[in-house]
Structures are given as structure tokens and as C-alpha cells.
């Protein structure tokens, strides 16, 4: 008997007096997606396979044969995929709870059982994970159970964030103008997000021709993180951040996040593994993903965003909804940093 059949056979939520007896089960079995999940360092570096099994108990008394009046499993799967594309999650228990909350976004869902399993942890077992069962609470908190239509909204672009992303490429991060750009950013705490290229920390990678593409890409991202931490040293307002929630929290606290890209980008299908991945290309990805208001790229290159960039063009939106400007290192006194 598979785990999904065990899960289905065990769900039998108690019903309140007077509650409709016409309750149907929506079942999603063996949905496998890649999530960035786990507390260990190696789990933060690369997405891993997660198997999901869900059973939702819904009110089927008025469904008829009208798709508009039922909860479609397409909506559920779209919502879960949006979670998979989101920020890093530490615990499988947390992921199970978030999936349960998604399900309760639909008013007809009375109870849900969710099983979350990691498939690649131990060679001696098929999977390890957790199962939870939840019932809709009497007084649902709107912040916990979003309004109907959440699933459809989850796949849409995030709303514009007021932050400006300021990216310093290899030459800019090592130039004599770096301090001036940093001083300009520090004038706008809570409104600027910094992206630092690898600079001197990436120099050894250029000369090493023995590395395969994936390894070189990973090391390049790690070099960018070294550069970011070095940039933040000695500045209380600068805070290295490795997740979307950490970036958002730093901005809300009136600080300036400095992006650590490994956890958010490694293993994502739209990020092309390239030894020469530039901070400019990754900053463009971050601006799209984060929903920034502006992207300022400080570079001496004539085209820091070439057509062969680090982002697979198949995943690019039809058009970007933010302003992008290419600036030289000496332009720090000529441009307004924060968006209006």
C-alpha cells in the first residue's frame, strides 16, 4: 500500500451537527516538485525533490456539473507551484502548514490532510517526511485563510516593491568610486537593495580552466557572497540577506539589505549555469522576482546585460515593469538613487 493510499484511507474528519453530509474528497497523489527546503547548509544550496499527497474534504452539495462552482485541482497545484518558486523554507512541517493554508483559501474546503516527503535524504529509505490533518477553524483569520481566488493570484507577478536595486559590477566594486556609491545608498535606508559582483573574490575562478560549468557557476555565486559580506563589514545599516523574506524584513526595518544569491538562485531552472555569470544579469532576475521599482547597474561595460545573459529567455516576462539604467562608476553624484 502506497503512502498516498494510506493517507486517503485515514482521512475521516468529524462533522458538526447540522453540517452537510454531502462531502467530497479531492485527491492529489504523488505530486513531485523541487523546493528549496531544509536547515542544513547543503540543503540551502540546491533545490531538492519533494513528494506531496493531499486530500481535501469539500462541500459538494451544490457543485452539479459546473466547473465554476467547484474547487479545481488545477488551482491547488498552481498555488503549490507558486510556493515552490518562493523563498527557502526550513522545515517540512512549515511547508505542510502553508499548503494547508492555501487549501483553506477556498470557502468550500472543510478539512485537509497533507503529506510532505523528502525523496533524496537517505539511501536506505524511499522517503522521510510529515503528515498533518487540519480542519477549518470556526473564526477564520483572513491573514491565515486568504480570500477565494488566492491560487489564481499566486502565479501573477508580485506587486511593485518601492526598493531600488543598486548593482555594482566587478569593476565598480573594486573602483575608487565604491565608497561614494555606498555613501549614496546609505542616504536611503529601507529603500535600496545592494547587489555586489564578485570582484577580487572571483578572480581565481577566471584562471581555473579545470572546473566544470556547474561547479564554476556555484563558486562564482559564493564569490559574490564573499564580496557582499566584505562590503557590509563595518556598516550597521547594511545587512547580508539570503532569502526574499530576509530582504523584505531588512527593508521594513529601515536597513539596506546586501544580497547573498546562492540560496535564492542555485538550482532554479531559469538561472543558466555559467562560470561568467554576472551580477548585472542576476540583479535583473532579482528585480523581476522581487518586484523592485528600479534597477541601477553601475558598470564600465557598454552592454552589461548581453543577449547571452544568465537568465533563460524562455522565462523572461514580455516586458519589465521597472526602470533600468546603466551608469558608469563616476556617475554617483548625477543620479537619484531611491525611487519616488
What is the sign, positive or negative, of the torsion defined by CA atoms of 117, 122, 126, 128? Answer: negative
What is the sign, positive or negative, of the torsion defined by CA atoms of 82, 318, 159, 246? Answer: positive
Helix (H/G/I), strand (E/B), else coil: 131: strand
- What is d(CA 55, CA 10) in angstroms, rounded to the nearest whole number? 10
Number of H helices, E strands in the chain: 12, 10
Phi/psi class of residue 197: alpha, beta or left (left: φ > 0; alpha: ψ in -120 to 50)? beta
Distances in Å between the alpha carbon of 240 and those of 33, 248, 277, 316?
Answer: 29, 12, 20, 27
Which of the residues 51, 88, 118, 218 is marked catalytic? Answer: 118
Helix (H/G/I), strand (E/B), else coil: 33: strand
* Residues linked to residue 166 through DSSP beta bridges, in sequence order: 194, 296
Active-site annotation holds for 118: yes
List the one residue out of 91, 113, 90, 87 whose CA is nearest residue 100.
Answer: 113
- What is d(CA 24, CA 267) in angstroms, rounded to the nearest whole number? 38
CB-CB neighbours of 277 under 10 Å: 25
List the one residue out of 141, 136, 119 whose CA is nearest residue 128.
Answer: 119
- Could you tell me if 224 and 202 are in contact, meaning their C-beta atoms sit under 8 angstroms apart? yes
What is the sign, positive or negative, of the torsion defined by CA atoms of 228, 229, 233, 239? Answer: positive
Which residues carry out catalysis?
118
Amino acid at each position: 500500500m502506497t503512502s498516498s493510499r494510506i493517507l486517503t484511507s485515514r482521512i475521516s474528519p468529524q462533522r458538526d451537527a447540522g453540517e452537510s453530509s454531502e462531502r467530497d474528497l479531492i485527491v492529489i497523489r504523488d505530486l513531485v516538485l523541487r523546493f528549496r527546503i531544509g536547515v542544513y547548509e547543503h540543503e540551502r544550496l540546491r533545490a531538492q525533490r519533494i513528494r506531496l499527497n493531499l486530500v481535501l474534504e469539500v462541500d459538494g452539495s451544490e457543485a452539479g456539473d459546473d466547473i465554476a462552482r467547484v474547487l479545481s485541482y488545477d488551482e491547488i497545484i498552481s498555488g503549490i507551484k507558486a510556493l515552490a518558486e518562493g523563498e527557502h523554507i526550513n522545515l517540512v512541517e512549515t511547508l505542510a502548514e502553508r499548503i494547508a493554508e492555501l487549501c483553506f483559501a477556498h470557502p468550500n474546503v472543510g478539512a485537509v490532510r497533507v503529506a510532505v516527503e523528502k525523496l533524496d535524504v537517505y539511501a536506505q529509505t524511499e522517503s522521510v517526511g510529515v503528515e498533518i490533518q487540519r480542519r477549518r477553524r470556526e473564526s477564520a483569520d483572513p491573514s491565515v485563510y486568504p480570500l477565494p481566488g488566492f491560487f489564481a493570484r499566486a502565479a501573477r507577478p508580485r506587486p511593485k516593491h518601492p526598493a531600488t536595486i543598486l548593482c555594482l559590477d566587478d569593476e565598480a566594486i573594486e573602483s575608487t568610486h565604491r565608497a561614494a556609491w555606498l555613501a549614496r545608498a546609505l542616504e536611503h535606508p529601507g529603500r535600496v537593495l545592494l547587489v555586489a559582483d564578485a570582484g577580487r573574490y572571483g578572480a581565481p575562478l577566471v584562471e581555473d580552466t579545470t572546473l566544470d560549468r556547474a561547479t564554476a557557476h556555484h563558486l562564482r555565486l559564493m564569490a559574490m557572497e564573499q564580496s557582499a559580506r566584505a562590503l557590509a563589514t563595518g556598516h550597521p545599516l547594511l545587512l547580508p540577506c539570503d532569502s526574499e523574506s530576509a530582504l523584505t524584513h531588512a527593508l521594513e526595518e529601515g536597513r539596506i539589505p546586501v544580497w547573498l544569491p546562492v540560496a535564492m538562485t542555485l538550482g532554479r531552472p531559469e538561472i543558466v549555469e555559467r562560470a561568467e555569470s554576472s551580477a548585472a544579469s542576476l540583479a535583473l532576475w532579482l528585480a523581476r522576482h522581487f518586484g523592485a521599482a528600479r534597477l541601477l547597474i553601475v558598470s564600465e561595460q557598454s552592454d552589461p546585460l548581453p543577449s547571452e545573459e544568465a537568465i533563460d529567455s524562455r522565462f523572461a516576462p514580455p516586458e519589465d515593469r521597472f526602470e533600468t539604467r546603466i551608469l558608469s562608476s563616476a556617475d554617483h553624484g548625477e543620479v537619484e538613487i531611491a525611487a519616488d
